[in-house]
Structure 1
Amino acid sequence: MENFLFALNTVLPFLLYIAFGYGVRMAGLADEDFMKRLNKVIFQAFFPILMFNNLYSIPEGMTLNLRLVAVAIISVLLLQAVLLAVVPRLVKENERRGVIIQAIYRSNFVLFGIPLATSVFGEEGTLLATMMVAIVIPVYNITAVVILELFRGGKVPVSVLIKNILKNPMIRGALLGFIFHILGIKLPVSVEGPIKQFANLTTPLALFVLGGTLHFNAIGGNLKYVVPSITFKMVILPAVVLAVATLLGFSGVERFVYFEMYATPVATASYAMAQNMGGDGELAGQFVVLSTVASVVTIFLWVYFLNSIGWLA
């Protein structure tokens, strides 16, 4: 019962935020256009503050395990190589190939990873997850552009990739926070307070909007792609990652943050990217919706299992 309550308390806040957003839209208190505009504000204004605050607040002396960083990046690239070899053999349409590959390797690490790590490991989890997000998100973004362009038949100049990375608001916020931390620049308390409060608002607002934009129609035709992909992403991959992290001797919090890279839902940004780069936008949106709904169950079961065997101590 103790393990059950631990897992429930970890996942239930996510479900409540999402359900509240969905309920507000269904009640007619806000339409989808409002939710989309609010989502843009959150992405452009709130997420940079969250990233800045988390890196600005890193305690002195805390360092990032470079071996963990290397393993995380190599595992993403290795997974992509396998998917590029396998998916085209199973799926005929180019516009679906890139979307499926992106859905399997690209997780909503920002939206779910940081608060989930905080819920389980407290401040230590927050800081490690934030630092990993700042490293992993550029890898996700760069490779997503390359893969989608590959199946569209185009070429991606290096200058375009660099420009897209630097335009990402989360990356900008992270870089600024890291610079402040490295240089030891301290803001006045009257400024730090509002920044921290805005940062604390980010996750509830983002999950609220995610719930307010969920749709469950037109899913049936794509289930043959969605079900096996999500099962592989949220059940098989996390198990493999946990085994690798354990064999490499990572600490509990490091192992959990690495696990989150694969166990969290499909990144919401993958939908917009697929729509704008010749991919199957409808399929991409369904991956986001169904993986988000499924994650409430799968993450709960994973946390319950990991806590039961003492890996979250």
Structure 2
Amino acid sequence: MFEIVLQTISITAPVFAMLFLGVVLKRLRWIDDDFIGTASALVFRGTMPTLLFLGIVNADMSQAFKPGLIIFFVLATVISFFVAWGWAIFRCPEIERGIYTQGAFRGNNGIVGLALATSMYGDYGLAVGSVLAGVVIFCYNILSVLVLAIYSPGAKTDPWTLCKNILTNPLIIGVVSAVPFAYWQIQLPQWLLSSAEYFAHMSLPLALICIGGTLSLASMRQSSDVAIGSSLMKLVWLPILATVSAWLCGYRDADLAVLFLYFGCPTAASSYVMARAINANHELAAAIVVITTIGAVVSINLGLLVLKMLGWI
């Protein structure tokens, strides 16, 4: 378990470093609100869609395509979304329900989850994790666009507008455009892939620097109750519900561990990027990302310890 703790810290430490760097750069006035707005727009419209595209194109579908596992993961994700949304309706101010819901169900599977799965189970964890991450990204973005559009100030919520928001979302476009290349194994020129990787690799550090630049003690205090509630839903209640459900469905060992890691991941940095892109409460979104990233170091390791003690993995 000590090795798992070190693995978790080694994966999350760079995230903390980028967040702290954003705070320092804002204090030094090397970046300002205009830069944060422009950089966030670049991540949302360009670098993040490219990262999602490459993640699906490079996934080894033949090695770890497990229809049953994929179907369970998608269904559990959708159910988690509606559980978080239903709780938000009863517990949160209306204007913050979309941010609460997205923060509670949208995990950082492509970075933290995939890295932990690979560390624990090698090539098998990498293959299974890549397929699950590629599939669920599509669900994350559709559901996030839906709930954020409903609760954004002045947003139109008629069916046509919602469909338009979903279909024109850059993150969804990145995922959908990658499917034909992955399915038919269409090879892209190596120079193009290398250039795309350079561009895509800016996504996480740039998004995290923007989050750090957005954070302030005042905004953290103002959003503390909602942020903590969403973080507990993300790190504790939904992972317990999903993992126990997976065990009851017969999943054990590596498959169950990967599912737990993915459901227990901290909130994805892209949730902040999307919130800022639609002028929602991005400060609340940033606070949730920070709290869950810190809390995941404890919750993931405790969860793995409990699963091992129970003999489930």
Q: What's the TM-score bracket when you normalise by the shorter of the two chains?
A: 0.7 to 0.9
What secondary structure, in the 3-state scheme, does the structure 2 residue paired with 1:263 have? coil
* Structure 1 residue 252 corresponds to structure 2 residue 282: no
Counterpart in the other structure of 1:285 = 283
Structure 2: how far apart are the matches of 1:181 and 1:121? Answer: 24
Query: What are the Cα deviations for residues 13-32 of structure 1, in whole angstroms up to 9, with x where unaligned?
Result: 21112222222222221112
* Structure 1 residue 100 corresponds to structure 2 residue 100: yes
Structure 2: how far apart are the matches of 1:146 and 1:18? Answer: 28
Query: What are the Cα deviations for residues 21-76 of structure 1, in whole angstroms up to 9, with x where unaligned?
Result: 22222222111211221121122121222122222223362343222332233223
For 1:231, give the aligned amino acid: L
Structure 2: how far apart are the matches of 1:137 and 1:60? Answer: 15
Counterpart in the other structure of 1:136 = 136
* Structure 1 residue 2 corresponds to structure 2 residue 27: no
Counterpart in the other structure of 1:168 = 169
For 2:95, give the aligned amino acid: E
Does the 8 Å contact 1:43/1:169 carry over to 2? yes
For 2:206, give the aligned amino acid: L
Structure 2: how far apart are the matches of 1:259 and 1:136? Answer: 14
What secondary structure, in the 3-state scheme, does the structure 2 residue paired with 1:187 have? coil
- 2:275 aligned residue (268, 271, 277): 271
Query: What are the Cα deviations for residues 150-197 of structure 1, in whole angstroms up to 9, with x where unaligned?
Result: 668997444433332232222222233221232332223333322333
* Structure 1 residue 302 corresponds to structure 2 residue 303: no
Structure 2: how far apart are the matches of 1:122 and 1:200? Answer: 22
Cα gap change, 1:101 to 1:48, in 2 (>3 Å): closer
Structure 1: how far apart are the matches of 2:8 and 2:303? Answer: 9
What secondary structure, in the 3-state scheme, does the structure 2 residue paired with 1:186 have? coil
Does the 8 Å contact 1:166/1:172 carry over to 2? yes
Once the two structures are superposed, the pairs formed by residues 64-213 of structure 1 within 5 Å of their partners are 64-83=65-84, 85-91=86-92, 93-109=93-109, 112-113=112-113, 125=125, 128-147=128-147, 156-213=157-214
Shift of 1:220: 3.2
Does the 8 Å contact 1:17/1:204 carry over to 2? yes
Does the 8 Å contact 1:22/1:212 carry over to 2? yes
Structure 1: how far apart are the matches of 2:259 and 2:312? Answer: 11
Structure 1: how far apart are the matches of 2:89 and 2:16? Answer: 35
Structure 2: how far apart are the matches of 1:88 and 1:2? Answer: 40
Structure 1: how far apart are the matches of 2:225 and 2:216? Answer: 18
Counterpart in the other structure of 1:23 = 24
Q: Which runs of 5+ in 2 are unaligned?
A: none
Structure 2: how far apart are the matches of 1:71 and 1:47? Answer: 26
Q: Which runs of 5+ in 1 are unaligned?
A: none
Structure 1: how far apart are the matches of 2:292 and 2:101? Answer: 18
Structure 2: how far apart are the matches of 1:142 and 1:167? Answer: 11
Query: What are the Cα deviations for residues 256-294 of structure 1, in whole angstroms up to 9, with x where unaligned?
Result: 356434532262146347745xxxx3xx632x2332222
Structure 2: how far apart are the matches of 1:31 and 1:145? Answer: 27
Which range is displaced more, 297-306 or 31-40?
297-306
Please give the TM-score of this superposition, normalised by the length of structure 1.
0.77
What secondary structure, in the 3-state scheme, does the structure 2 residue paired with 1:29 have? coil
Does the 8 Å contact 1:117/1:257 carry over to 2? no
Structure 1: how far apart are the matches of 2:191 and 2:87? Answer: 54
For 1:305, give the aligned amino acid: L
Please give the TM-score of this superposition, normalised by the length of structure 2.
0.77
For 1:294, give the aligned amino acid: I
What secondary structure, in the 3-state scheme, does the structure 2 residue paired with 1:10 have? helix
Structure 2: how far apart are the matches of 1:209 and 1:187? Answer: 32
Which range is displaced more, 37-46 or 143-152?
143-152
Greater RCO structure (CA 8 Å; 6+ sep): 1
Structure 2: how far apart are the matches of 1:126 and 1:312? Answer: 20
Cα gap change, 1:59 to 1:133, in 2 (>3 Å): closer
For 1:260, give the aligned amino acid: Y
Structure 2: how far apart are the matches of 1:64 and 1:140? Answer: 20
Counterpart in the other structure of 2:216 = 215
Give the percent of matched residue pairs that are identical in Structure 1 and Structure 2: 21
